[in-house]
Structure 1
Amino acid sequence: MFFCSWVSGLLALVGVSWYGHRIAQEFYNPFTPTNSRYEFGSALYVGWGAACLTMIGGSFLCCNCSGGGSGKAPNYPASSSSGQPARDYV
């Protein structure tokens, strides 16, 4: 699940970069009319930033969260014979 976060950031980065490349190619194309040339805008920068932050967040989640565990049950305190939970506080 955490890997999906990293992959979604990578796919967003690819999409935004692809559109940015297309804008750059059309801007420097001499056959493109001057009034229909686009420049990099704030939406591209926000897209690049969001994609990078999503990848960083997914990387942190992948590194810090345990993947599967050992398969053992968690260590709960043993219950007393009377059915009441053991209360051994130190």
Structure 2
Amino acid sequence: MTIRTYTDLPIVDRAAFELACARHGLAPLHFEISGEPDPDDPSQDGFVVVRRGRWAQAYRIDPRGRWLRQFETDLNCRFFR
């Protein structure tokens, strides 16, 4: 899966990302999103890297969407502010 912007996310992940941003008064376009392969294990889905300004966080992609909960936790902690 090639991810260059949030619109490249699977539709369910994209909707959850948009909702998480909206709950915190942010727009998805405030973030840069990219996909990165796992250099230690190419058979895995890899990582989603979310950037805003000078701050960046990498989240491991998994089929249950755990990265979205971790992203929202970071928003709650004001990591990206």
TM-score, normalized by length of structure 1? 0.23
- Larger strand percent: 2
- Larger helix percent: 1
- Which has the higher Rg, Structure 1 or Structure 2? 1
TM-score, normalized by length of structure 2? 0.24
Work out which structure has the larger RCO, using CA pairs closer than 8 Å and 6 or more positions apart in sequence. Answer: 1
